[in-house]
Amino acid sequence: MSGHSGASSIQNLLASVALPGSDTAQLDAELLLAAVLGKPRSYLRTWPERELNAEQLRQFESAIQRRQQGEPVAYILGQQGFWSLDLEVAPHTLIPRPDTELLVETALELLPHNPVAALDLGTGTGAIALALATERPGWTVTGVDRVPEAVALAERNRSRLNLRNTRFSESHWFSAVAGQRFKLIVSNPPYIRADDKHLGEGDVRFEPASALVAGIDGLDDIRLIIQLAPVHLVAGGWLLLEHGFDQAAAVRELLAAQGFLAIDSRRDLGGHERISLGRYGNE
């Protein structure tokens, strides 16, 4: 990209960007340029002749360089949409993904509007907890994470959204909620095998390994959650877990071995069994 006259117009900049490593190169460039301008993406099509000033051009070139090196757009922008929310994100948390919305949809379907206590394990940005709290104002939602920076980030998201039925605390899985019981426990835990080749590809190279990897078969954390969840569920309470596209059968077996009932798996938009669930006892 060059700064000579005409080259710094919106349409010329977008036409000149090369992001060979991205499957969404045009979208990436538009999101980064709109952020630099402080405008919605629609502005780019409405004012294609608009020229960037020198500082805007410097910011855009810097953002494109980071993306060319593989850094996720969400980290460059510091934000990501999830459900109906715009969330702050940072490199010490996973980037919320559309697949995880299935966890939210299923929880809302299982438990309509009666006031319940819900727990989100490994909350990261707070995405799942905040989406549930937004849709169910009568619920009390607790989100926990072992990473202090993640807890602080989730709290900033909660504060900005002004959600008073949610709280976040530092906890290694259930350690900070001893003695508490919930009607719903949800988690998007680490579930990638330690030897998975995808760990060296794409956006996940920039995401924290501790939020991705779970032992030789990817099920270490899921095993632990399933084992410990019963003492934290009220009678008839539900456990919902996101997992890898090829792990549903193994997760259903783990749930059954621990005595869960009404065990089921749900498919994401790509047709993969992405979450599994079970109820512990009868109400």
pLDDT tens for residues 172-216?
Answer: 999 999 999 999 999 998 776 666 566 556 665 655 555 555 566
Give the DSSP letter of residue 11: H
Which class for 8: exposed (0-12), middle (13-18), buried (19 or more C-beta within 10 A)? buried
User: Quick one: pLDDT at residue 271?
Assistant: 92
Separation of alpha carbons 226 and 215, rounded Å: 16
Nearest-5° angle of CA 263, CA 176, CA 189?
Answer: 40
pLDDT in tens, 123-177: 999 999 999 999 999 999 999 999 999 999 999 999 999 999 999 999 999 999 9
Contact 158, 205 (CB under 8 A): no
Per-chain mean pLDDT for the chain: 88
- Angstrom CA distances, 28 to 49, 95, 118, 191, stand at 20, 15, 35, 27
pTM greater than 0.85 (yes/no): no
Of 70-79, 115-124, 163-172, 257-266, least confident by mean pLDDT is 70-79
Average pLDDT over residues 76-103: 88
- Phi, psi of 229, rounded to the nearest 5 degrees: -60, -40
Give me 151's structure tokens: 């807890």
Average pLDDT over residues 41-60: 91
User: Quick one: pLDDT at residue 6?
Assistant: 63
SS3 (DSSP) at 275 = strand
Average pLDDT over residues 238-264: 96
Query: If you count DSSP H runs as helices and E runs as strands, how many of each does the chain have, helices first?
Result: 10, 9
Average pLDDT over residues 48-63: 91
Of 9-23, 103-117, 177-191, 197-211, least confident by mean pLDDT is 197-211
Name the band, by pLDDT with cuts 50, 70 and 90, for residue 1. Answer: very low
pLDDT > 70? residue 3: no
Q: State how far Cα 76 lies from the chain centre.
A: 16
Nearest-5° angle of CA 212, CA 216, CA 222?
Answer: 60
User: Quick one: pLDDT at residue 94?
Assistant: 82
For residue 140, what are the β-bridge partners? 117
Average pLDDT over residues 88-112: 90
What domains sit in the chain, N to C, each tagged with a CATH number?
10-70 (no CATH), 83-280 (3.40.50.150)
